[in-house]
Amino acid sequence: MNTLKPCPFCGGKNVLSTELQDGLPFIAYCQCGAENEAENWNARPIEDALNARIAELEAERRWIPVSERLPEDGEVVWLWDGNNLGMGYYLVLSGCFMDRDTPLRRIKPTHWMSLPTPPEVK
């Protein structure tokens, strides 16, 4: 059996398991009184779903290195040059980042990020 995860109730890491008489399944138990069949102890469907959603959101809202890829042409993005967050919004046109307010000013960012979806207005 794999290593047992910490207790889902108290977070205790001193989780033990034992085999009951007559070949019954292993039981995992914690000092707080929590116990379950050891094969089910590590099953955390809600925690697993939350961790998957967190990973999805973090991947969606991360700074992307320009060496990895560039945004689509015409996409409005935030830029980071290694020292400062770009002031305002920027357009990417044919691989060049252009300041929307000063179109002739080119920016040399190290990272970029898409803007979040704006809220719905009713």
Q: 4-37, pLDDT tens digit by residue?
A: 889 988 999 888 887 665 666 678 888 899 988 8
CA angle, residues 60, 62, 68, in degrees to nearest 5: 100
Q: 56-70, pLDDT tens digit by residue?
A: 999 888 999 989 988
**What pLDDT sits at residue 28?**
86
- Higher pLDDT pick, 79 / 50: 50
**What pLDDT sits at residue 102?**
64
Measured distance CA(54)–CA(56) in Å, rounded: 5
Q: What percent of the chain has pLDDT over 90?
A: 21
Residue 14, both tokens = 């001193």
